[in-house]
Amino acid sequence: MPHDTPGSAGPLAGITIVALEQAVSAPMCTRVLADFGARVIKVENPKGGDFARDYDEVVNGLAAHFVWANRGKESITLDLKSTGGIDVLHRLLDRADALVSNLAPGAMARMGLSPAELSQRHPQVIPVEIDGYGTGGPLSHKRAYDLLVQAESGACAITGYPDMPAKPGPPVADISTGLYAALSIMALLIGRARQPSDAPAPAVAVSLFDTMTDIMGYPLTYTQHSGIDQQPLGMSSPAVSPYGAFPTRDGQTVVLGTTNDREWQRLAREIIDRPDLADDPRFATNSDRCASRDVLNDAIGTWCAQHDLAEIQQIADEAGIGNSRYNRPSEVIAHQHLKDRDRWRTVATPNGDISALLPPPVISGHELPMGAVPGLGEHTDAILGDMGLSAEDIAALREQGAIGPAYPTSQIPRAEQSNA
């Protein structure tokens, strides 16, 4: 299915992904694939589309979640409760390599899109279902959102402070599940070349709960073998000490960390000038230091309060001790390290151009494409035309309600909007 989006330049050029997706987890999966050059066709309900489009209006009238997780995609509006809409979806799948979904439990099966049914009708398509809790358990029927799964998996219990649990700021469950799903698709695409040509594609199921319990590997392993539920320590870690955030003389906050005994010795002797602590057998090992972290934090905090951030960081760098500055999001946006490394790019949206960070992978000789954020149904007519439907066919589908309204062609061009 030819197209002229930036995705055609990427290493996944020629791969087509059809997405029945909402919110963050599946959109993050397909955004990663789009960033690597796959063609992603986002199928949306004509009545509003992906509900993440309406979370807020802070990005020139668009939602921040949506523009972040949906660049590089094409949007087609289909009423999948209609015969015409389902027929168009199957015609899309005739040419697709994978179908990614994260709908409510049982929704795909009710539409005749279970892995078994897809294997019969579209054996080349890799069906990827992202759900909350996986199948076969007492929670399998439940809807699941990022916060709910973070709470269920124990992540909130190890975040925040004792008796003051917190949700980790980014939607870790959604993002990580999306990345696992994208990795699974890439692995199966590679493995496809080694399979018989008539072998149906394996199905993939990734749940937010399984992903989060995997990410909880260290605390679960620790508790499993110690019987101790570790308490959250704010901007510190129960695993190593000293390691935390300390106010500086000039009103900043520095984060200092050690990961082994040698680093502890350098921090004590070369930074805070406390050889007595370095020689004290109470702090000889990391386990010892974790047991006495309050004593060490007081000593480090007292020293940091007497020095400015720049001085602390210079001394720590010279001593080979890891350190950073505590930043708010507004400060990260203006971060010199991002600017000097040219990490910002311009991405088009229906309401004008915006700045977005490049994807994390830096691939020599190749920059991953970052396509436009689609308007609701923006590519419906073009996609249907690519499939061989005539203008009359498209008009008939629209009259039946199988597809959404025609996308406005009188919009201000995106490049002009950014200069308005």
Q: Where are the domains of the chain?
A: 16-216+344-400, 243-325
d(CA 263, CA 274): 14
d(CA 130, CA 173): 11
Report phi then psi at 245, rounded to 5. Answer: -105, 140
Side-chain-side CA neighbours of residue 87 (13 Å): 12
- Residue by residue, pLDDT tens for the chain (420 residues) are 333 344 447 899 999 999 999 999 999 999 999 999 999 999 999 999 999 999 999 999 999 999 999 999 999 999 999 999 999 999 999 999 999 999 999 999 999 999 999 999 999 999 999 999 999 999 999 989 999 999 999 999 999 999 999 999 999 999 999 999 999 999 999 998 787 777 889 999 999 999 999 999 999 999 999 999 999 999 999 999 999 999 999 999 999 989 999 999 999 999 999 999 999 999 999 999 999 999 999 999 999 999 999 999 999 999 999 999 999 999 999 999 999 999 999 999 999 999 999 999 999 988 898 999 999 999 999 999 999 999 999 999 999 999 999 998 744 444 443 333
Q: Which residues contact residue 263 at a Cβ distance below 8 angstroms, ignoring those fewer than 6 apart?
A: 320, 321, 322
Q: Which residues contact residue 227 at a Cβ distance below 8 angstroms, ignoring those fewer than 6 apart?
A: none
We find that the CATH architecture of domain 243-325 is 2-Layer Sandwich (3.30)
Quickly tell me which residue has 């469950």 as its tokens. 173
Whether the CB-CB separation of 274 and 268 falls below 8 Å is answered with yes
Report phi then psi at 14, rounded to 5. Answer: 95, -10
pTM: 0.91
CA distances from 363 to 98, 218, 339, 355, 367 (A): 24, 31, 19, 21, 7
Whether the CB-CB separation of 386 and 2 falls below 8 Å is answered with yes
Helix, strand, coil percent content, the chain, rounded in steps of 5: 40, 15, 45
Closest alpha carbon to 87 in 96, 78, 95? 78
| First-to-final CA distance of the chain | 34
CA pseudo-torsion sign 379, 384, 387, 391: negative
Closest alpha carbon to 173 in 143, 207, 138, 221? 207
d(CA 364, CA 185): 23
Is the CATH number 3.40.50.10540 carried by domain 16-216+344-400?
Answer: yes
